[in-house]
């Protein structure tokens, strides 16, 4: 058992869900606009599919894109594990409400949720900050594109913060585990011990980040140039 666990740990290739991976792959080389459009189309298809055959084809396409980006099964597990647990719960709820005959609709809905989300995970794992900002800034002011991307970029940071805060509060006796939430009397712990400290951290981090960006000239000029990763590579070779 322990040996098996140690083997599993050797396959860990990312630190958190949707972490950007610095590989070179056909998906990495696609422009952010193309990826965003293709991802949106795939997510839309995830909502539209109805039959098992359609679902299988879409699953194959989504997984194909995922592995074409040189991401690993462990990355896939990191990105989807919450949804897998959610899917099991959804399927169980379907069966509990309508009997075994609703097993298939439960499985379909769960898979659709995962397929809806998966293109977004591929996008985040294969797209650099600068690429997204460049892409967004073609259609919206660069200040807003920065705001949008930083919001997404710091999601993993706040997930880590949440984990740290949660660990500290559990050690102080806060009842914030999922299983504790079955008792509504514990819901106030969830708000006071997790949400309040996280909001404080978010505001503080936002202040530090904006101060850092401003001190590096962000917002000083009307326009902004973009080096692009190709440009940086050229200099690195010199």
The phi and psi torsions of 79 (rounded to 5 degrees) equal: -75, -30
What token pair was written down for 223?
């326009």
With 0-12 / 13-18 / 19 or more C-beta atoms within 10 angstroms meaning exposed / middle / buried, residue 3 is: exposed
Q: Which helix (H) or strand (E) holds 83?
A: helix 73-98
The tokens of 71 are what?
């991401």
CB of 136 to another protein, least distance (A): 14
Is residue 143 within 8 A of residue 219, CB to CB? The reply is: yes
* Closest approach of another protein to the CB of residue 8, in Å: 9
Only one of the segments 48-56, 76-84, 105-113, 222-230 lies at the binding site for another protein (rule: CB under 8 A); that segment is 222-230
Hey, which residues between 2 and 31 contact another protein (CB under 8 A)? 2, 5-6, 9-15, 19-22
Compute the least distance from the CB of residue 140 to another protein, in Å.
17
Q: How far is the CB of 150 from another protein (least distance, A)?
A: 6
Minimum CB distance to another protein, residue 100 (Å): 36
d(C-alpha 185, C-alpha 80), whole Å: 30
Determine, following the binding rule CB under 8 A, whether residue 236 of this chain makes contact with another protein. yes
Tell me whether residue 12 or residue 81 sits nearer to another protein (CB atom): 12
177 near another protein, judged by CB under 8 A: yes
Neighbouring CB atoms inside 10 A of 120's CB total 17
What residues contact 161, with CB distance under 8 A and at least 6 apart?
A: 198, 201
- Tell which one of 129, 138, 159, 187 touches another protein (CB under 8 A): 129
Q: Is 185 a binder of another protein (CB under 8 A)?
A: no
217 scored as a contact of another protein (CB under 8 A): yes
To another protein, the closest distance from the beta carbon of 43 in angstroms equals 22
Torsion of CA 189, 194, 199, 201, to 10 degrees: 140
Site string for another protein, 62-81 (x = CB under 8 A): --------------------
Q: Does 164 help bind another protein (rule: CB under 8 A)? A: yes
């Amino acid at each position: 058992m322990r040996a098996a666990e140690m083997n599993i740990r050797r396959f860990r290739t990312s630190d958190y869900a949707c972490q950007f991976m610095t590989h070179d792959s056909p998906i990495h080389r696609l422009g952010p606009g193309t990826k965003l459009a293709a991802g949106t189309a795939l997510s839309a298809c995830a909502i539209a599919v109805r039959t098992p055959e359609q679902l299988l084809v879409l699953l194959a396409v989504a997984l194909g894109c995922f592995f074409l980006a040189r991401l690993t099964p462990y990355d896939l597990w990191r990105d989807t594990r919450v949804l897998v647990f959610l899917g099991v719960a959804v399927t169980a709820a379907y069966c509990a409400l309508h009997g075994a005959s609703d097993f298939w609709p439960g499985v379909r809905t769960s898979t659709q949720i995962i397929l809806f989300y998966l293109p977004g995970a591929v996008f985040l794992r294969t797209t650099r900050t600068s690429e997204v900002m460049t892409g967004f800034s073609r259609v919206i002011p660069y200040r807003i594109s920065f705001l949008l991307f930083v919001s997404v970029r710091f999601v993993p940071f706040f997930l880590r913060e949440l984990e740290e805060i949660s660990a500290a509060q559990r050690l102080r006796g806060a009842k914030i585990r999922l299983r504790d939430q079955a008792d509504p009397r514990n819901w106030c712990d969830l708000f006071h011990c997790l949400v309040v400290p996280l909001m404080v951290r978010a505001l503080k981090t936002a202040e530090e980040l904006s101060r850092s960006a401003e001190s590096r000239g962000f917002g000083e000029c009307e326009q902004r140039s973009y080096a692009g990763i190709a440009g940086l590579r050229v200099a690195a070779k010199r």
